[in-house]
Amino acid sequence: MFTSDDLVVYPAQGVGKIERIDSKTVGGLVCELYIVRIRANNVTLMVPVNNAAHVGLRTLTPKDEAVTILESLRNESGKAVYTGQNWNRRFREYSERLKSPSLAIVAEVLRELLLIGRSKELSFGERRLQEQAMSLVTGELSEVLEVEEDKVRDELLELYAPPPVDPDPAG
């Protein structure tokens, strides 16, 4: 059970703050609701208290796990990624994985999309997924590790930037 002012993570939305806990009568039943304001986009969500675990509402990732996730993103920027399936199937798979309550799974989607973008142009849908994954990962990591979100984003974009093209390979 969460309380007012707790920071929580809502899958596919990111870090939010529980503003209050309200009671509403729905269909004759009294329902307790967490009122959660998502930090990235200022959207307010109403999450039934008794359904919070089912939808994946959770506390922030522990600091040691956040450090491990950031280090793996830093250290696996050269790792190969399999892109054999078509972009449409990949898009569906990544969309599902972004709904995961696990930051590590969302970070893996981000890493794969950054690596794919290194070697080929991402489709519009893939670019949107990459932006969503980047926002989810950097938003939570910055909160847990107490660093600026833009700093984490810029570091990752630099690490995964395509290698520079030599304009004159003959030298």
Contact 111, 69 (CB under 8 A): no
Q: What is the pLDDT of residue 164?
A: 73
pLDDT digits (tens, 9 = 90+) for 21-46: 999 998 899 999 999 999 999 999 99
The pLDDT of residue 32 is 96
Residues 107-122 pLDDT 10s? 999 999 999 888 888 8
Model-level pTM? 0.89
Percent of the chain residues topping a pLDDT of 70: 94
